[in-house]
Structure 1
Amino acid sequence: MTPKSLRVTAALVAVLGLTATACGPSGGSSADAATLIAFTGQNGDYQGNFNPYSPTANEGIGTIFEPLFFFNAMQRDAKPKPRLGKEFFWNGNGTELHVILRNDAKWSDGQKFTARDVAFTFDMVRKNGTMNSTGFKGTTTVVDDNHVTIKFDEPSYMEGPQVLGRLWIVPEHLWKDIATPATDPVKNPVGTGPFQLEEFKPQAITLKANPGYHGGEPAVKKVRYLSLSGNQGGADALKAGKIDWQTGPVPDIKNVEKTYPGYRAITVPQNQIALFTCSSAELGCTGPQTDPAVRKAIYHAMNRQQLNALAFQDTGSEISPGFALLKRDEPYIAGTLKEKSAAMSPDSAKAAQLLEGAGYRKGADGVYAKDGKPLSLTVKVVTGWTDYITAVNTMAQQLLQAGIKVTPQQLSWNEWADARSQGGYELLIDSVYQGPAADPYYTFSYFFAGYTTAPVGQAANPNFGRMKDPQVDAALAALKRINPENAAARQPHFDVIQQRIEEVMPYIPVLTGGTTSEYNAKKFTGWPTNDDLYAFPAIWSRPESSEILMKLKPAGS
């Protein structure tokens, strides 16, 4: 990418000045040496919300609130790592999941963690649609303090990694008094995780190591999350040695070790960059993007090779219009897709054919129109996300050549996230992420299932594109019932899902993002490498970042 030259604000300078001794690569006190300074991309004030089920949660997933197990989505054969759970097993037909829990965990207020907390959490999620991003429908029974069973009405093998790895356990003795847990902010979080909240400020959140953590107190004693002026602020802070870990673009990304002495970088193709569209008129979406022909015309009019070079420093790679992850999910790619991967070069003739077939006619200004209304759209992007800003500005130029007018609109993260959740947008740029295990089922069930979306004005989570397709929902329901080891039985359902996603296209594929993280290798050891991807190495990825924080050690310790 080629980030714009943005000056670091006075607020950024003040924050960095306060933390300079804590995070410079070259040292400081022994206490400072165990403090990790992180930048997640937060631009604007933190809101002080640690509710792990809120779409606008600041931090705490994995660090304060834990899942039962950690599943590594980077490695297909990786075994789940125990967190609050010790072991699990299914009954013979996949309708009953047994979980044995650890008996040495405590909440950070001193109360003992038990199976009742698990049952309470699962019941709460099942009863609250906006919290239930996995579509969980199980009934949880407490067998004893260290054993729960989750029963399903039908075989539900694919629920395993979601229930065990993507539901964050909360304390019944505190959460039972929260009136609306799906939306109420949590200001003073009490969890079982390796870290606790030490201090909240609008510009910085500080977590401290939990001395009573069941897995042992982390060697990283404090984690401080900073709010900076977007990607440029992160790059400037990295250059000055003021942060230890960030995930995002920096200039000259191929030469990080030379340009940023003491730091290293790792790039992993994992999340899929897309133009999210509020696609469903039936669910209340308005605008030209509710027409599939418009969405597909945008898809064909993109010059992805140019986008990759200008916005992402060629760290991106090809993307499938069916949204299975290329390379990792190669066995599952539908052979009946019109295109296995999106073309890197534009097809203006195809875009024109689609628009004109849908009744659009090009005006004297070169912009298509229908019923007297120009084909004009707004795309929302977070202020400070320089790579995405460059991407949407470049797209606007590319699409205008194809007769589609797109106007970028920069918003604070909070405004952008609210628009994404409520459906208050035409287009926005974001990434479709992977699930808890290396299987495309989870991405499909998160972003394309009818049960994870909602009418405009209500919170969708995370099917923000508002796709509600009976064929996709039926295929997902069938996949849930099939043992994942039976690849032949699964594939016809994967084929249906990918074909419908390509046909409907609620998310317009851009590129598979090469997620790059820069980290202070001089100050901490234990970072993931390409040879040891024990967790997806992105600071904003949860609970993956908590796994990394627990693995790190101050250099020389």
Structure 2
Amino acid sequence: MKRASRSRVSRTQLAAALGVAALFATTACSADVSASGSGSTVPGTLLVGGDNGSPTFTRNFNPFSANKRNLTTYMYEPLAVVNNLDGKATPFLASSVEQPDTSTVVYHVRQGVKWSDGKAFGAEDVRFTFDLMKKNAALDTLGAWQHIKSLSVSGDTVTFHLKTADAPAAQVLDQVLIVPEHIWKDVKNPATWTNPNPVATGPFTLDTFTPNQYTLAKNATYWQADKVQVKKIVAPAANSNLDIVNNGYDWAYTFMSDVDSTWVKADVKHNSYWYPPGGTVSLLPNLTKAPFDNLDFREGLSYALDRDKIADKAEQGYVKAAGQTGLLLPNYQDWLNSSIADDGKITQSTSKALAAFKKAGYTRRGGKLVDSAGKQLTLSITTANGWSDYLRGVQVVRQELSAVGIKVNLNQPQAAAYQESLQNGDFDLIMGSFGGSGSLYQDYNNLLNSGFKKAVGTGTSANFERYGNAATDALLAKFKATTDTAEQRKIVDRLQQVVHDQLPAISLFYGGLWGLSSDKNFTGWPTGKNPYASLMTWGSTPLLVLTHLQRAN
């Protein structure tokens, strides 16, 4: 995790938190691929389930917009693309990066790059993009200017001076999508502009657009065009699981029940799937409320649960039960704290659960867990309506807590109301997730930083359980201020111990990244044996995939 000057940067990613249960919405309509043909009929064409209409597409390719078309990021590039699985970064519009100290980041901008309209790309475009975000805060979706004090340009070098010692900030800067000054300087309202005819540096340009489907064409002047074997990408507005299976898709991201008898069976020779862990699905206790603020009580909850059974039911055996270290495994296997037994796995034990509950003031009488007044313990668990894997998991949780004598009510609000409950602390226990950003610092910081505890209710996406501990804050501050790998490992060991011992979140199972691929037309897809990226079809990850694929015929 130590930063250095080199052509291939090795560091962790700071990215938006992954909603591991929120899969692409699907529709019963059939995908219309007749205009361009599917990947199986037109050589060099990739049929991708990478975007969904609602039910049709709007022509929005503004890379800063929350409502942009997903394939916008197949056209625009950041300074570096980070593999969210392990934090390793590949330079794109930056040829290399240096971090001479923890408050300075230096990017050497790649030479010889052109915008898709033929204009030269340069360091001034990088400065313009960051200045544009400073002037229009709505564009700064990654919060880059929370870290930047100033920036300067000298030749092909862009230097960022940070507000504090802030080693992880570079991971934010890496991922900002760069736009052309000669186009955007005349845009009156860049936050609402739909950018219908995008000019970008990336491997693809917009080809055709209709409300039901759009296509991208290979950018012939792309700076690494020799690595791009896909000539055209077809993105239909309708991408139901039935569409994906029956229409010969090359690439999609979606959960399918019994994927072997659906997706794989449709083309046994070519279709495959890969579901690496993308986050830790957990029970988040409201630490501002009794009895959830009592560690003994949280230990009782933890010991009462059979994680293997929960994982198997929730995700149909495709992912594993999660350990209680806060690490995604096997992604960060080599960062495990060796002093924590069994990789942090918690084995169900009714006797240990009842002993812990007794310390918290609850005993079992007549099959019921009761307080000192003889009143049965009743609690509620909140999960989002329609998030089927969360619901399957929480149903097992209810069964297992009921088995020790707790009465459990389930709340299933719609997704928007669920998010409000997270923000406002309107819950006892709530199903949620953490981790998967590609940055160990960010994963732990989002879960444990008491500053986020104070900010919840104002739009923050972290520390929903409202954990706060001064010693843990000090550890996070040390983590933020060092680039020394040995020191980082010592800190991560201690942070794992915090999550394991203090149970700010009760880890249940890993949320899968539901990637489907076919090697009928293209080979070189990411796999467990070659995990250079995940199979996510949005964000900058596809840039890694699209520069790896090879034609199969």
Same fold, judged at TM 0.5 (above)? yes
> Cα–Cα, structure 1 residues 369 and 222, in superposed 2: closer, same or farther, change >3 Å?
farther
1:543 correspondence with 2:540: yes
Note the residue ranges of structure 2 that are not aligned, 5 or more in a row: 1-24
Secondary structure at the residue paired with 2:510? Answer: strand
> Cα–Cα, structure 1 residues 464 and 170, in superposed 2: closer, same or farther, change >3 Å?
farther
Which residue in the other structure is 2:32 paired with?
Answer: 18
- Distance in 1 (CA, whole Å) between partners of 2:363 and 2:259 is 43
> Cα–Cα, structure 1 residues 142 and 505, in superposed 2: closer, same or farther, change >3 Å?
same
One-letter identity of the residue aligned with 1:219? V
1:377 correspondence with 2:380: yes
Which residue in the other structure is 1:96 paired with?
Answer: 104
- Distance in 1 (CA, whole Å) between partners of 2:326 and 2:547 is 32
- For residues 445-501 of structure 1, what are the alpha-carbon distances to aligned partners after superposition, in whole Å with 9 as ceiling and x for unaligned? 34433455653431113444444443333222212333334x1x3333223322323
Of 386, 389, 399, the residue aligned with 1:387 is: 389
> Cα–Cα, structure 1 residues 240 and 328, in superposed 2: closer, same or farther, change >3 Å?
closer
Which residue in the other structure is 2:251 paired with?
Answer: 245
The farther-off stretch of 192-201 and 465-474 is: 192-201
- Distance in 1 (CA, whole Å) between partners of 2:385 and 2:48 is 22
Which residue in the other structure is 2:408 paired with?
Answer: 405
> Cα–Cα, structure 1 residues 255 and 531, in superposed 2: closer, same or farther, change >3 Å?
farther
> Cα–Cα, structure 1 residues 37 and 57, in superposed 2: closer, same or farther, change >3 Å?
same
- Distance in 2 (CA, whole Å) between partners of 1:94 and 1:442 is 16
RMSD of the TM alignment (CA)?
4.4
One-letter identity of the residue aligned with 2:32? L
The farther-off stretch of 93-102 and 35-44 is: 35-44
One-letter identity of the residue aligned with 1:18? D
One-letter identity of the residue aligned with 1:305? D
One-letter identity of the residue aligned with 1:498? Q
> Cα–Cα, structure 1 residues 410 and 253, in superposed 2: closer, same or farther, change >3 Å?
farther
Q: How does 1:27-42 map to 2 (within 5 A)?
A: 27-29=40-42, 34-38=45-49
Of 75, 86, 90, the residue aligned with 1:81 is: 90
Which residue in the other structure is 2:161 paired with?
Answer: 151
> Cα–Cα, structure 1 residues 256 and 339, in superposed 2: closer, same or farther, change >3 Å?
same
One-letter identity of the residue aligned with 1:484? D
Question: 1:304: how far off?
Answer: 1.6
> Cα–Cα, structure 1 residues 51 and 408, in superposed 2: closer, same or farther, change >3 Å?
farther
Task: Give the total of aligned pairs.
Answer: 517
1:265 correspondence with 2:275: no
- Distance in 2 (CA, whole Å) between partners of 1:306 and 1:56 is 38
1:168 correspondence with 2:168: no
Question: 1:405: how far off?
Answer: 0.8
Question: 1:259: how far off?
Answer: 1.6
Which residue in the other structure is 1:351 paired with?
Answer: 353
Which residue in the other structure is 2:523 paired with?
Answer: 525
The farther-off stretch of 56-65 and 242-251 is: 56-65
Question: 1:222: how far off?
Answer: 2.2
- Distance in 2 (CA, whole Å) between partners of 1:490 and 1:520 is 39
Of 484, 504, 507, the residue aligned with 2:505 is: 507
CA contact 1:69–1:83 (8 Å) conserved in 2:
yes
Question: 1:404: how far off?
Answer: 4.6
One-letter identity of the residue aligned with 1:270? P
> Cα–Cα, structure 1 residues 244 and 369, in superposed 2: closer, same or farther, change >3 Å?
farther
1:115 correspondence with 2:123: yes
Question: 1:85: how far off?
Answer: 0.8
CA contact 1:117–1:169 (8 Å) conserved in 2:
yes
Secondary structure at the residue paired with 2:533? Answer: coil
CA contact 1:422–1:456 (8 Å) conserved in 2:
yes
1:69 correspondence with 2:73: no
Secondary structure at the residue paired with 2:326? Answer: coil
CA contact 1:208–1:222 (8 Å) conserved in 2:
yes
> Cα–Cα, structure 1 residues 48 and 510, in superposed 2: closer, same or farther, change >3 Å?
farther
TM-score (norm 1): 0.75
CA contact 1:74–1:535 (8 Å) conserved in 2:
yes
Q: How does 1:328-477 map to 2 (within 5 A)?
A: 328-335=331-338, 337=340, 340-343=343-346, 345-360=347-362, 366=368, 375-381=378-384, 383=386, 385-402=387-404, 403-407=406-410, 409=412, 411-412=414-415, 420=422, 427-436=429-438, 440-450=440-450, 455-477=455-477
One-letter identity of the residue aligned with 2:436? Q
> Cα–Cα, structure 1 residues 337 and 55, in superposed 2: closer, same or farther, change >3 Å?
farther
